[in-house]
Structures are given as C-alpha cells and as structure tokens.
Structure 1
Amino acid sequence: MSAILTAENLYHRVSTSEGPLTLLNNISLQLARGESLAVTGASGSGKSTLLGLLAGLDKPSEGKIWLAGEEITAMDEEQRAAVRARCVGFVFQTFQLLPGLTARENVMLPSELRGERGAAKRAEEFLAKVGLEHRLGHYPRQLSGGEQQRVAIARAFASFSGEDAILFADEPTGSLDAGNGAKIIDLLFKLNAESSTTLVLVTHEQRLAERCATHLRMSAGAVESYEPLAGDDNFSEVSA
C-alpha cells in the first residue's frame, strides 16, 4: 500500500516564561492508506499536539509532513485548509458543533463551504448511518452527549470521499460514559470499514487502541514504543 501520511523528524516547541518548551521531540512515522493507528500516552505526552500537526491544523517547529501526497509543512494556512477540505475529517473530544445549527445543518456545513450540491441529502444519509435520522432538526442543546458525538462523527465522514480520505479523532470517547463510549467505538470502526478511510486516533482507552492495526505510545513528546497488530504485515513505520 502507498503511504497517505508521512512525517519526518518532527519537533514542536513553544515559548514559555521559563524559556522554550519542547512538546514533540524528533518523531517520524509513515501510515499506509486504509490503515488505523492509535496514539496513546499520559496527559501532556504530546498526543493531541502530534494529531493537530498531522492533520495540518498547525505547523511544526522543525520537520516535514506529507498528507495525501502533498507536503503540508511547505504550505501556508490557506493552502493547508484546502487540503483538509479535500481529504481530512476531524472528530473533537468536545464535539465542536455549532449551537445555532441543527444536526442536519452541522453535518451539511463542510460540503456547503466547498460549494457542493446535495449537501442536505449527504448529511441525512450519514446521520441515518449513526442512528440519528429522527434527530435531523434538533439543535445540539437538545441532544445528549452521545448523540452530539454521533453528529460530530457524521460530519467528519461527510467531509470527504475517495481513497485519500483520512479521519483524525482526538479522544472521541473522552466525554462519554462507558456505554456510549463503546457504541461510539463500534460506530467509528464500522463507518471506517464501509468508507475504506485511514484512521488516526488519540485515546486513553486500551480497548480502542486494541482495535487499531498499529499502536504508538508517547512519553514526554517522544515515541516510547510502537506495536503493530500481531500478524499484520501492513504496518506503519515509526521512529523517534
């Protein structure tokens, strides 16, 4: 399989009152199309920082990232946004739904911003896939936490299509109880299998990490360990 995501020698530093703080320390990885990767580690280990860089939400202090064949670290924000609009879906732990829009309208938004036709129909199809066809006209405040996360997942999967599609999810079950969390995990992998997308997850949950083909553990901004799924010969290359 060809690589859809490659990172080389990533460093990320921020300025603090006590001087520069290194959040990521020399991380390299490569992920094949259609593969799933779980990123785990203690709070403050750099997981969410890495996810944001890989998705093109920010630029590293040093290093290069290629996403769907394009070097996004050589781009400005407008150019990175165009790549994200084409092939990236992102599921946030805190849902990030717009309170003034209905479930249908929240899911429609990425397609509408791209000027695509049939945004409403596509939104309704994905909301039906996550079991919310009866909640199309409801606003986020009228939905439970589990329902809001399902809307966020529908929006992410409605954001892209094609072999270059890649979904990033930052603690997708972190705000949910155990029962709803288990449902969201099953839903993520079901939709991922149906759409043949690439999946990158940040999680504290071992049960979620074990569903992925590869598992990257982080500590203090660096790679602590990397474990491919037993018997899987299509695994990522990760180094620190």
Structure 2
Amino acid sequence: MSTDRQPVPSKDFMIQVQNLSHSVDLGTDKLSILQQVNMDIRKGESAAIVGRSGSGKTTLLGLLAGLDLPISGTVSLDGHLISALSEDERASLRSQRVGFVFQSFQLLPTLSALENVMLPIELAGLPNVKSKAESLLKRVGLGERMQHTPRQLSGGEQQRVAIARAFAVNPQVLFADEPTGNLDTRTGEAITELLMNLNSEHGTTLVMVTHDQQLAERCQRYFIIEAGVLHEKTEKNAEVLSA
C-alpha cells in the first residue's frame, strides 16, 4: 500500500511535504537524489537547508517551488497540491505567491536595475510600477544606482537588485538558492541581514539553500540534507547531526 497521500491543506503551513522521493533516469539506471523527505514549514517562518554539493538541496528547492514534479510523494504549497496542478496552474501559483533569489542573480543584462525590478510588477499587472520598484531599490540601499545595468554593479549590488525584484510582487514565500554563495564575507553578511529583515517586516516565508552554517543558524528552522536524506537540526539532536 502506498504511503503517499494528499496532505490536508492548512492555513498555518506554507509548505507541506510528505514522503517525497526523486531520481533521474540515466538510461540503464536511475540515480536517487531525494529519499522519503518530510517537512512542514509554517507561514512566516525562515528555514535553511544545508548540505554539501550534490546532496540534493537545490533539487529539493525546485520541487518545493513547483519547478519540477517528484517521482513519488507530495508537495503542497500554500494548501495547493502541486502534482494535481497543470503546468500553467503551477506557473500561475508561482507568479502569485513565489519569489526567487538565485546564486547567479539572473538579472537581464540590457535592463537597468530599476527596469529589472519593474518587469515582474508589470507582468503581474500591478499598479504604481515605477514608484514601487524605486521604493524597493531604496529599501535595499540602491537609491543612487537605479539606472545602472548589472555589469555596472558589484556582485553584492546585483544580489540586492535580485532581492528587490523577488519582493516586487509581495510573494508569500521566497526561495533563495545560495544567496550569499558568490559574495565576499562582508557583503554576504549584509545580504543575510537584508533577507532576515525583509522576512520579518513582510511576514514572507523564507526558504534558503546554503552551505553557510552561520546563515543557517539565523533561521528559525535548520534542515540538513545528506545523500538525499533530510533531517531537521534541533537542540536535542544537534550534536549527532554535527558529528
């Protein structure tokens, strides 16, 4: 009998995962990436997923955001069972509820910082496009750099633009993949502080994949993934998981 079942939607949880497993087909064999992952993240919580390269953390982030579908198990995002949605419905869910911050920033190189932040607001059909984008860029400390293109900005400045863009449509959940991975220590700390402040001020659920344990310690929830198996680090099991 299958252990997979549709999670009961809860207004308290942004993410609910049950018995999630995922693998990739190598032709003659399958490579297991995630094994029987279970996790629940409440609305407004901050959570970090820590693991070595190749441990499955970025794959898990993509599944949580509905960018891919698991081989087995279920993922619920804000009460919506992702596997029950069509591709268009998943895209609509992401556009309405989800923000992304990528390690590689993924800014459009020919657009200014202001235009990069305005774009998702325009696509969402929201009002006050320019004023809202300007306000967000000022909030992340780029009030004097709005007309600069990405190549005219430092790595830390580009990441600030990416964060402003991610918050442009007031997402209910923000997924960040190694948000400080390409930054020096000082800039990374500033970006960490910015993400935490925005999480607190907006009540946005924050889910970050990171190798930075100091960043992970700032989050309310701390998950460790190793060889596709996920455990939550708590005061009771901290020594065992850190061994």
- Residue number among 74, 77, 92 corresponding to 1:64 in the alignment: 74
- Residue number among 21, 24, 30 corresponding to 1:20 in the alignment: 30
- On the 8 A contact 1:212/1:229 being kept in 2, the answer is no
The answer to whether structure 1 residue 146 and structure 2 residue 156 are counterparts is: yes
Give the number of equivalent residue pairs: 226
- On the 8 A contact 1:36/1:213 being kept in 2, the answer is yes
CA distance in structure 1 between the aligned counterparts of 2:12 and 2:78, rounded to whole angstroms: 10
Gaps of 5+ in 2: 1-10, 237-243
Match of 2:185 in 1: 178
The answer to whether structure 1 residue 195 and structure 2 residue 206 are counterparts is: no
CA distance in structure 1 between the aligned counterparts of 2:219 and 2:185, rounded to whole angstroms: 19
CA distance in structure 1 between the aligned counterparts of 2:169 and 2:58, rounded to whole angstroms: 21
Match of 2:117 in 1: 107
After TM superposition, the runs of 4+ consecutive aligned structure 1 residues lying more than 6 A away are: none
Gaps of 5+ in 1: 231-240
TM-score normalised by length of structure 1: 0.91
Tell me the alpha carbon deviations over residues 148-202 of structure 1, each in whole angstroms, 9 at most, x when there is no partner: 00000011111325xxx01110000000011111110011101111111111011
- SS in structure 1 at match of 2:198: helix
The answer to whether structure 1 residue 168 and structure 2 residue 178 are counterparts is: no
Match of 2:233 in 1: 227
- On the 8 A contact 2:34/2:228 being kept in 1, the answer is yes
- SS in structure 2 at match of 1:133: coil
Report the residue type matching 1:171 in the other structure: E
Match of 2:241 in 1: none
Q: Once the 2 structures are TM-superposed, how far is the Cα of residue 27 of structure 1 from its aligned partner?
A: 0.4
Match of 2:224 in 1: 217
Report the residue type matching 2:74 in the other structure: K
Report the residue type matching 2:184 in the other structure: D
CA distance in structure 2 between the aligned counterparts of 1:56 and 1:159, rounded to whole angstroms: 18
Match of 1:206 in 2: 213
CA distance in structure 2 between the aligned counterparts of 1:110 and 1:156, rounded to whole angstroms: 8
- SS in structure 2 at match of 1:151: helix
Alignment CA distance shift 1:102-1:29 (3 Å): same
Match of 2:87 in 1: 77
Q: Supply the RMSD in Å over aligned alpha carbons.
A: 1.4
Q: Once the 2 structures are TM-superposed, how far is the Cα of residue 81 of structure 1 from its aligned partner?
A: 0.8
CA distance in structure 2 between the aligned counterparts of 1:90 and 1:107, rounded to whole angstroms: 13
TM-score normalised by length of structure 2: 0.90
- On the 8 A contact 2:46/2:199 being kept in 1, the answer is no
CA distance in structure 2 between the aligned counterparts of 1:226 and 1:117, rounded to whole angstroms: 41
Percent identity over the alignment is 52
